[in-house]
Amino acid sequence: MTSVWVYSDLISHTMKNSNLQIETLTVHAGVEPDPTTGAVMTPIYQTSTYAQTGINEHKGYDYSRSGNPTRTALQNALAALENGRFGLVYSSGMAAIDNMMRLIKPGEHVIVGDDVYGGTFRLLDKVLADYGIQFSFVDTTDVAAVEQAIQSNTRLIWLETPTNPTLRITDIAALAEIAHANGAWLGVDNTFASPILQKPLDLGADLVVHSTTKYIGGHSDVVGGAIILNDETMHVRLAFLQNAIGAVPGPMDCFLTLRGIKTLAIRMKTHCENAMRVSQFLADHPAVKEVIYPGLDTHPQHELAKRQMKGPGGMVAFTLNEGVEAAVNVAKKTQLFTLAESLGGVESLIELPAPMTHATVSNSPLAVDPALVRISVGIENVDDLIADLQQALTQ
Ligand SMILES: *Cc1c(COP(=O)(O)O)cnc(C)c1O
């Protein structure tokens, strides 16, 4: 197989451990001028197939489920951002998690954080459990509890940090050590932090997963997922699964995600600054009972967050003195904060996890406090955001 103009696989390798700073990587990583025209921005290769000059003689691409240049650019960009060797992208975050879980065989055991995204719990508990994979849901902020849950057939520890929606922080390096001492992998869903704030591979994780729908895409206009990793054997298997299962993103989706990445560093900076101000405002407000935000020193893992993350992120959760009814009212009365699921976009969103994003865990041990309000603080002017919450809280 000849490959004359493939978007260089070298990009992710040369940029790994490069001296370039993250703001530079967000703009340049994975992207080279187009080899045929010199186009500076990666073109949307809206094609399903590629002309061959002889049987299996082509330029590195033969069919777009197996590979597409726009997708290659995105995969290399994400690998560079996470300081990993390999990136693989999928049609959604759930497709990425499903592909990753295919590394686990019937009869094997997975330890899962007990505060994971509702859709993740649904996939594990309602789909994959039927195929003979065993799951234990454990509070991964408690290192001893994780160690106790290890079995001889444990292959993977899977967690989110910060968690969705209660923003608990797990010590990635400590759990990587426990996983490796027991012949298991550590996988981290890095969706809430983004690679700007946290690099799990550098802390010892084996697999990083993203819902690129959220901060990485950043504009609430595309759904996607990614896996980033260093191990070559695992990459060969996952690349095989990516093609075999076929839950791949189209070139337009890859283009939109790549475009979002260009501003990821500056967006995350503003998300963090705005969320810090908003959480301080909420903490001081008489109608508010509790604010959960890793940037506040009242957060139970505040010190760990400071050590492990470059910033506390853009997600804030809170409860009100008047309980569920007041929570519903606030979510309905904000005007700039749109009542909607999802997170990580430039615009601010508000929701109640229990009946919305986490409805699927409502009758499980993972059930969320029905009075909890979750906000995704956007990059609008923070004074406007605070004024909006102020009016919603006083009504
Ligand atoms: C949204 C989300 C997912 C699922 O991603 P989709 O792109 O919606 O499939 C997984 N993990 C976390 C933490 C999420 O927020």
Catalogue all structural domains in the chain, each as residue range(s) with its CATH number. Answer: 22-261 (3.40.640.10), 266-394 (3.90.1150.10)
Ligand 1: nearest atom to the Cα of 96: 9
pLDDT of residue 15: 55
Say which of 71, 168, 214, 374 is annotated catalytic: 214
How much is the pLDDT for 18?
Answer: 67
Residue 224 CA, ligand 1 centroid: distance in Å: 9
Q: Of all atoms in ligand 1, which is nearest to the CA of residue 120?
A: 10
Catalytic residue among 7, 117, 215, 293: 117
Residue 65 among the catalytic residues: yes
- Catalytic-labelled residue, pool 16, 65, 269, 310: 65
261 backbone dihedrals φ, ψ, rounded to 5° = -60, -30
- Strands 373-376 and 154-160 come out as unpaired
Residue linked to tokens 């997922």: 225
Distance of CA 344 to the CA centre of its chain: 10
What is the C-alpha to C-alpha distance for residues 176 and 161, in angstroms, rounded to an integer? 13
Reference 282, options 295, 270, 266, 263; nearest CA is 295
3-state SS record for the chain:
CCCCCCCCCHHHHHHCCCCCCHHHHHHHCCCCCCCCCCCCCCCCCCCCECCCCECCECCCCCECCCCCHHHHHHHHHHHHHCCCCEEEEECCHHHHHHHHHCCCCCCCEEEEECCCCHHHHHHHHHHHHHHCCEEEEECCCCHHHHHHHCCCCEEEEEEECCCCCCCCCCCHHHHHHHHHHCCCEEEEECCCCHHHHCCHHHHCCCEEEEECCCCCCCCCCCCCEEEEECCHHHHHHHHHHHHHHCCCCCHHHHHHHHHHHCCHHHHHHHHHHHHHHHHHHHHHCCCEEEEECCCCCCCCCHHHHHHHCCCCCCEEEEEECCHHHHHHHHHHHCCCCEECCCCCCCCCEEECCCCCCCHHHCCCCCCCCCCCEEEECCCCCHHHHHHHHHHHHHC
CA distances from 366 to 164, 213, 247 (A): 11, 23, 28
Is 333 annotated in the active site? no
Output the CA 215–ligand 1 centroid distance in Å: 11
**For the CA of 223, the nearest atom of ligand 1:** 7
| Encoded tokens for 247 | 């839950």
Atom of ligand 1 nearest to the CA of 212: 7
Model confidence, pTM: 0.94
Q: Cα separation of 132 and 147, whole Å? A: 22
Given this model, what pLDDT does residue 360 score?
78
**According to the model, what pLDDT value does residue 4 have?**
34
Which atom of ligand 1 is nearest to 97's Cα?
Answer: 10
Distance CA 213, CA 169 (A): 22
- CB-CB contact of 115 with 166 (8 Å): yes
Ligand 1 neighbours (beta carbon < 6 A): 92-94, 117, 119-120, 160, 164, 189, 191-192, 211, 213-214, 223, 225
Do the Cβ atoms of 332 and 321 come closer than 8 Å?
A: no
In angstroms, the CA 315 to CA 294 distance is 9
352 touches 372 (CB < 8 A): yes
Rounded-to-integer distance, Cα 40 and Cα 31, Å: 8
To test ligand 1's pocket by mutation, which of 188, 213, 222, 253 has the most ligand atoms within 8 angstroms of CB? Answer: 213
The whole-angstrom separation of Cα 113 and Cα 145 is 11
Cα of 158 to ligand 1 centre, how many Å?
A: 14
The pLDDT value given to residue 17: 55
Query: pLDDT tens digits, the chain, 395 residues: what are they?
Result: 333 333 344 344 445 556 789 999 999 998 889 988 999 999 999 999 999 999 999 999 999 999 999 999 999 999 999 999 999 999 999 999 999 999 999 999 999 999 899 899 999 999 999 999 999 999 999 999 999 999 999 999 999 999 988 999 999 999 999 999 999 999 999 999 999 999 999 999 999 999 999 999 999 999 999 999 999 999 999 999 999 999 999 999 999 999 999 999 999 999 999 999 999 999 999 999 999 999 999 999 999 999 999 999 999 999 999 999 999 999 999 999 999 999 999 999 999 998 988 887 777 777 889 999 999 999 999 999 999 999 999 97
* Ligand 1 geometric centre to CA of 291 (Å): 23
Q: Which of 114, 115, 171, 189 is catalytic?
A: 189
Residue nearest to atom 8 of ligand 1 (CA): 93
> What is the distance of C-alpha 78 from the center of its chain?
11
